[in-house]
Structure 1
Amino acid sequence: MSLSTAPAAIHATALIDPLAQLDSSVSVGPYSVIGPHVRIGAGTTVGAHCVIEGHTTIGRDNQIFAFNALGGIPQDKKYAGEPCELVIGDRNTIREFCSFNIGSPGAGGVTRVGDDNWIMAYVHVAHDCIVGNHTIFANNSTLAGHVEVGDWVILGGFTGVHQFVRLGAHSFTAISSVLVADLPPFVMCQGQPAEARSMNFEGLRRRGFSAARIAAVKAMHKALYRDGLTLQDAMLRIADLSEKYPESTPDVQMMLSFLEQTSPRRGIVR
């Protein structure tokens, strides 16, 4: 990320530490506070009354609305002031009253948010979370520490995700869902705790999935949830889908890789 020391479009009431690195095209709204270890890339806008602190790096063309708190220390009693990080990519929209924490030293020390994400109001992203690209987090959805969210995931409003849970690409949670187990790719869930309801077929169609790829996803759903198979037997059946639907091979491999990394203790949403 190329940064400039030229003056940025900063409101007179904003407090910007002299050591902060802001591209000359960055704008900062009234009464915002930006700390010394913050780097912000070209075209990003920061609204009013935001606090951006810690070792925080923000990429290009992000829209950060008012009253956000980014880069605060983790809500972890073990944290002792280590220089952990928050890294946010490009073209994200972060609406009002969100809080993203830096990482913690025991888990790599970095919280990461990718590109092109649509983050609605009052979302919390805790320490050491990894968020992919093209996600949508509806209002008040909350990630506990160490959560991993794949690309194109949609979280319904008031979704709560337990620490260390993983959400596979293209998965979807209904409003007020509570996840205490891993949510495989493509799966739609609902409930407290969440239970699998279907696959995210409409979302896949909107993203240009072919009929063959969607048929393979339907077969994965049947193996995982309809035929009473153990997880290991379901994985064997899913592995065979590449032969029947060659076009779906990357989708099959993604599903198998996700399931192979699932802890037996945690399991998957059923």
Structure 2
Amino acid sequence: MNSVIDSSAKIDDSVKIGPFCVIGPDVEIGPNCVLHSHVVIKGPSKIGEGNIFYQFSTIGEDTPDKKYNKEKTTLEIGNNNIFREGVTVHRGTVQDKSHTFIGSSNLFMAYSHIAHDCVVGNNNIFANTAGLAGHVVVGNNVTLGAVTLVHQFCSLGDYSFTGLNTLITMDVPAFVKVAANPARPIGLNTIGMERNNFDSDTINLIKKAYRIIYRKGYSLEDAINQLYSLNQDNNPALTSFITSIERSERGLLR
């Protein structure tokens, strides 16, 4: 029932490690983490404090990307994340930044997947079997519904939301709710905004912005100009919405 721990691993004395875990070389695990059982962590990986790993999660594994050739790429994980049963997280590739990053206070439900070179922010929820292909960027307070699949190089803005069994092949702006296969916009994540204490004036402002982008028939360039006119008071939420649109590289889901 003993776990296998490489002698080079740096593990805080407060970490609880259950049976049949495997911790490889170049792994650093911070205070108060819990590995329940049958957890595999490979390195180079740096893991912050208070993270919980359930059985059969595999963290910091080599990517199956055919470009990968055993280079010493890395994974970094922040604090207070929960990795449920069977979650898989891969390290980066040298063709990008050689680095996969996960922030803090995320919930990854059973069998969700974070591929190589992804960047995941804070306070996100990945429902069962939600999966990111390589090079995906996820902001903060994003909810991915069960069986959501995200194509490589896509980005999802803060507070965006995906429905069950959604296939995303283009960028999703902040606050926007999408669903279906292929994904289509179906409104705003107003419930998420309310739960995170956005005031009614801000929510109504983002509703106006949404209509400009998705309902008025403007070209994208003209729509962005309209958004700037709407944002004369520099509302932080509207600024975030505009920024998520302007930073789109793969193309906006519209």
DSSP-derived class of the 2:49 partner: coil
Match of 1:96 among 65, 85, 89: 85
1:258 & 1:204 partners in 2: Cα distance? 16
After superposition, what is the alpha-carbon deviation per residue over 1:68-102, rounded to whole angstroms, capped at 9, x for unaligned? 11111112111111110011100001100010000
Task: Report the equivalent of 1:230.
Answer: 219
Deviations 1:9-59 (A, max 9, x none): xxx511111110000000111000001110000000012111101201110
What is the correspondence of 1:250-261 to structure 2 with a 5 Å cutoff?
Answer: 250-261=236-247
**Correspondent of 1:172 among 137, 161, 184:** 161
Counterparts of residues 166-245 of structure 1 (less than 5 Å): 166-243=155-232
Task: Pick one of 100, 105, 117 that aligns with 1:116.
Answer: 105
Contact preservation (8 Å) 1:30, 1:49 = yes
What is the aligned counterpart of 1:64 among 53, 63, 72? 53
**Matched residue type, 2:252:** I
Instruction: Report the 3-state secondary structure (helix = DSSP H, G, I; strand = E; otherwise coil) of the residue aligned with 2:210.
Output: helix
| Distance in 2 (alpha carbons) for counterparts of 1:199 and 1:181 | 17
Further displaced range: 196-205 or 251-260: 251-260
1:267 aligns with 2:247: no
User: What's the offset of the Cα at 1:113?
Assistant: 0.5
Number of residue pairs matched by the alignment: 254
Which residue of structure 2 aligns with residue 152 of structure 1? 141
The alpha-carbon deviation at position 241 of structure 1 amounts to 2.0
Partners of 2:210 and 2:242 lie apart in 1 by 13
Aligned counterpart, 1:138? 127
8 A Cα contact 1:75 1:126, kept in partner: no
Length-normalised TM-score, structure 1: 0.92
Aligned-pair CA distance for 1:252: 2.1
Q: Which runs of 5+ in 2 are unaligned?
A: none
Distance of 2:54 and 2:138 partners within structure 1: 22
2:67 to 78, 91, 95: 78
Counterpart residue identity of residue 104, structure 2: D
1:249 aligns with 2:235: yes
CA–CA distance in structure 2, aligned partners of residues 254 and 189 of structure 1: 18
Q: Provide Cα deviations, 1:128-156, integer angstroms capped at 9, x if missing partner.
A: 00000000000000000000000000000
CA distance in 2 between partners of 1:177 and 1:143 (Å)? 12
Partners of 2:151 and 2:141 in 1: CA distance: 19
Q: Give 4+ residue runs of structure 1 displaced > 2 Å after superposition.
A: none
Offset, 1:104: 0.4
In 2: Cα distance, 1:252 partner to 1:241 partner:
9
Give 1:254 deviation, angstroms. 1.6
How many angstroms apart in 1 are the aligned matches of 2:46 and 2:161?
28
Q: How does the TM-score come out when normalised to structure 2?
A: 0.98
Q: Which runs of 5+ in 1 are unaligned?
A: 1-11
Is the contact between residue 15 and residue 31 of structure 1 (CA under 8 Å) also seen in structure 2?
Answer: yes
Q: Retained in 2: the 8 A contact 1:239–1:252?
A: no
- Residue by residue, what CA displacement relative to the aligned partner does 1:169-227 show, whole Å, maximum 9, x if unpaired? 00000000000000000000011110000000011011000111101110111011111
